[in-house]
Structures are given as C-alpha cells and as structure tokens.
A and B are shown apart, each in its own frame.
Chain A
Amino acid sequence: KNEVEQSPQNLTAQEGEFITINCSYSVGISALHWLQQHPGGGIVSLFMLSSGKKKHGRLIATINIQEKHSSLHITASHPRDSAVYICAVDGGATNKLIFGTGTLLAVQP
C-alpha cells in the first residue's frame, strides 16, 4: 500500500462544475502539499498545509490531521484547470517529499 493515496486517478468535468480531489496518507507528516503539473512537466506549488484550510482564488485545500486526509476543491472549474494534481507529504522525521500518484483532471468546455 502506498504511503500517499489519491482519488480519483482520472476526473473529467464540465466547465463550471465543483471538483474535489482527495488525498489520504499513512505516515506522520509535518506538512502536506498540493502541486499542479501541466503537460511539459513544470510543477507549481498550490498549497502547503499543516492544519485547517487555505483558499487561493477558486482553489480551496483542507486537511484533517486526525483522519490523515486532505482535499483539494476547485470551484467554477475552467478548461485551464486541466492538469495533473499531485498530493505530497513532508515526512516530519525524514525531511523528504512522498508523492501520491496524481489525479489527471480534464475540464471540458
């Protein structure tokens, strides 16, 4: 079993829909990161969370430390949101990122 599990693996949505991507982890962490990767490879860091909730524009990220679970929400989705979304955790004792397998999101106009 992977230490970081994401669901769903693939997601197709219509423009304007509310999207949720989930991440569960089984290790102790100091922080959880949500990353976005577009075709071509570049990775953008969206959020870093250690507790609670963060919001940036149409993106919202939440984390429940007790349940070892985080969600990334996209409100009013747009085709430009199409990308791979990756959850990664900073193992507090190990000081390295452990990645989920990613969620491929396609938003259709």
Chain B
Amino acid sequence: KAGVTQTPRYLIKTRGQQVTLSCSPISGHRSVSWYQQTPGQGLQFLFEYFSETQRNKGNFPGRFSGRQFSNSRSEMNVSTLELGDSALYLCASSLEPLGMGGYTFGSGTRLTVV
C-alpha cells in the first residue's frame, strides 16, 4: 500500500515568487492536512481538507492557500514568498475528517527561500 507522497522533496525559490506543493494521500483517505515546521516555531497546523472542502485553517496569512481535488490529492500554494517561509512542509492523510483513524505523514517538502 503506497504511503503519502509529497512532491517535490526539495525546492529553492526566490523572494517574491510563488510555489505549489503537492500531496497524494493514501488510497481511500479523504482527509489531508498540511503543517509547517521551522526551527523557531516547531510544527504548526496550516489547514485541513476533507472531500474537497477546507474544514479548518491555522493562523497563517492569506498568502498560504490550498485546495483538494476529487481524487483527494491536495495542493498548497504560497504566494509572494518571504525568507521566513523557508521550512519543511508536511502533509498527513487520515481516513476520517477528525483523524480518529490516525494520521499518516508524508516525507515533506523542504522549501528554501533565498
């Protein structure tokens, strides 16, 4: 059974650019959540999608957005990149929307903004 796949694994972007990250959940999982991990702030919740609907959003500016497709694959987009957006971005999928079946995490996308 394939795990959660995140692409790309590494990315270098310039300030002001925009970036799109992709997350393919485990087959059958309809909930996908996104997290940002930085040395200073640790792991922080970005947003969660279930059946193509954003169910919850963390405390991040509007530059951070996402969407989910009918096959449950999700993308997150960051516009007008800032140096502080450099981080490991992780997604996790779960069977139920509240994660009561547990979460399976992807390996993450490491974004560096220069």
Contact = CB atoms under 8 A, between A and B. Distances in A.
Contacts of A48: 99-100, 102-103
A99 B92 CA distance: 14
A42 interface: yes
Interface stretch (A10-18, A59-67, A72-80, A90-98): A90-98
B105 A96 contact: no
Contacts of A97: 33, 35, 43, 45, 99, 103
Contacts of A92: 98
Nearest to B43: A99
Contacts of A43: 90, 92, 105, 108
B103 A33 contact: yes
B103 A45 contact: yes
Interface in A1-56: 30-31, 33, 35, 40-45, 48
A86 B98 CA distance: 19
Interface in B41-71: 42-45, 48, 55-56, 58
* B interface residue count range (under 10 / 10 to 19 / 20 to 34 / 35 or more): 20 to 34
A101 interface: yes
A17 B92 CA distance: 32
A99 B99 contact: no
A44 B4 CA distance: 11
B37 to A, nearest CB: 8
Contacts of A102: 42
Contacts of A94: 56
A95 B55 contact: yes
Contacts of A45: 102-105
Interface of A: 30-31, 33, 35, 40-45, 48, 86, 88, 90, 92, 94-102
Report, nearest first, the 6 A-B pairs whose CB atoms are least far apart. A43-B105, A99-B43, A96-B45, A41-B108, A42-B107, A48-B102
Given A41-B90, A43-B90, A95-B48, 5 more contacts: A40-B107, A42-B106, A48-B103, A95-B55, A95-B97
